[in-house]
A and B are shown apart, each in its own frame.
Chain A
Amino acid sequence: MRSAEVVVALFMFGLGALVIFDSVRLGWGWGAEGPEAGYFPFYIGLMICVGSLVTLFQVLLGSQSKGHKVFVEWSALRLVLQVLLPAAVYVLGIQLIGIYVASAAYIAVFMVWLGKYGWTRGIIVGVGVSAVTFAMFEIWFQVPLFKGEFNPLSLIGY
Chain B
Amino acid sequence: MEEINALFHGFSVALTPFNLLLMFIGVTLGVLIGVLPGLGGANGIAILLPLTFTMPPTSAVIMLSCIYWGALFGGAITSILFNIPGEPWSVATTFDGYPMAQQGKAGEALTTAFTSSFIGAFFAIVMITFLAPLVAKFALQFGPPEFFAVFFLTFCSFIGMGKEPPFKILVAMMLGFALAAVGIDTVTGQLRLIFGWHELMRGFDFLIAVIGLFGIGEILLSMEEGLSFSGRTAKINTRIVIETWKKLPKYWMTSLRSCIIGCWMGITPGGATPASFMSYGIAKRMSPDGAKFGTGQAEGVIAPETAAHAAGTAALLPMLSLGIPGSPTAAVLLGGLLIWGLQPGPLLFVEQKDFVWGLIASMYLGNIAGLIIVLTCVPLFAAILRVPFSIIAPVIVVICAIGAYTVHNAMLDIWLMLLFGVMGYAFKKLSYPLAPLVLALVLGDQAEGAFRQAMLMSQGDMRIFFSNWLVGSIMGLGLLMLVWPVMGKLMTQLRKSAA
Contact = CB atoms under 8 A, between A and B. Distances in A.
B426 A37 contact: no
Interface in B418-456: 418, 421-422, 425-426, 429-430, 432, 448, 451-452, 455-456
A41 B429 contact: no
Interface in B51-75: 51, 54
Contacts of B54: 141
A70 to B, nearest CB: 11
B398 interface: yes
Contact of B401 (A5, A41, A71, A94): A94
Interface string B392-430: 011101100110011001010011001001100110011
Contacts of A37: 185, 187-188, 190, 192
- Specify the main secondary structure of chain B where it touches its partner: helix
B456 A48 contact: no
Interface in B119-137: none
A122 B394 CA distance: 11
A22 B171 contact: no
A44 B174 contact: yes
A127 interface: no
A11 to B, nearest CB: 9
Contact of B395 (A22, A76, A129): A129
Contacts of A129: 395, 398
Contact of A26 (B190, B398, B401): B190
Nearest to A31: B188
A79 B226 contact: yes
B223 A48 contact: no
Interface stretch (B76-84, B89-97, B175-183, B368-376): B175-183
Given A41-B192, A41-B193, A106 B452 contact: no
B406 A145 contact: yes
A75 B422 CA distance: 18
Given A26-B192, A106-B394, A115-B388, A47 B429 contact: no
B89 to A, nearest CB: 24
Given A71-B429, A84-B422, A103-B401, A52 B394 contact: no
Interface in B178-217: 178, 181, 185, 187-188, 190, 192-193, 195, 216
B178 A48 contact: yes
A41 B402 CA distance: 32
Interface in A54-91: 54-55, 58, 64, 71-72, 76-77, 79-80, 82-84, 87-88, 90-91
Interface string B369-395: 000000000000000000010110111
**Residue among A8, A36, A145 having the largest count of chain B Cβ atoms under 10 Å:** A8
A143 B193 contact: no
Given A34-B455, A143-B50, A95 B394 contact: no
B342 interface: no
A112 to B, nearest CB: 9
A76 B224 contact: yes
Contacts, number: 171
Q: Which of B175, B394, B401 has the most CB of A within 10 A?
A: B394
Contact of B418 (A15, A91, A106): A91
Interface size classification for chain A: 35 or more
Contacts of B394: 106-107, 110-111
A6 B464 CA distance: 39
B429 A110 contact: no
Nearest to B165: A64
A17 to B, nearest CB: 11
A118 interface: no
A99 interface: yes
Contacts of A79: 223-224, 226
B208 to A, nearest CB: 13
Contacts of B388: 115
Contact of B425 (A23, A80, A111, A145): A80
B232 interface: no
Contacts of A82: 223
Interface of A: 1, 4-5, 8, 12, 15-16, 18-19, 22-23, 26, 30, 33-41, 44-45, 47-48, 50-52, 54-55, 58, 64, 71-72, 76-77, 79-80, 82-84, 87-88, 90-91, 94-95, 99, 103, 106-107, 110-111, 114-117, 125, 129, 133, 137, 141, 143, 145-146
23 contacts: A4-B430, A5-B430, A30-B460, A37-B187, A40-B452, A41-B181, A51-B168, A54-B167, A55-B171, A58-B165, A64-B165, A76-B226, A83-B223, A84-B220, A91-B415, A99-B402, A103-B398, A103-B401, A107-B395, A111-B394, A137-B406, A143-B50, A143-B406
Interface of B: 50-51, 54, 165, 167-168, 170-171, 174-175, 177-178, 181, 185, 187-188, 190, 192-193, 195, 216, 219-220, 223-226, 388, 390-391, 393-395, 397-398, 401-402, 405-406, 409, 411, 414-415, 418, 421-422, 425-426, 429-430, 432, 448, 451-452, 455-456, 460
Q: Which 7 A-B pairs have the closest CB atoms?
A: A115-B390, A51-B171, A110-B394, A51-B170, A76-B224, A37-B190, A37-B185
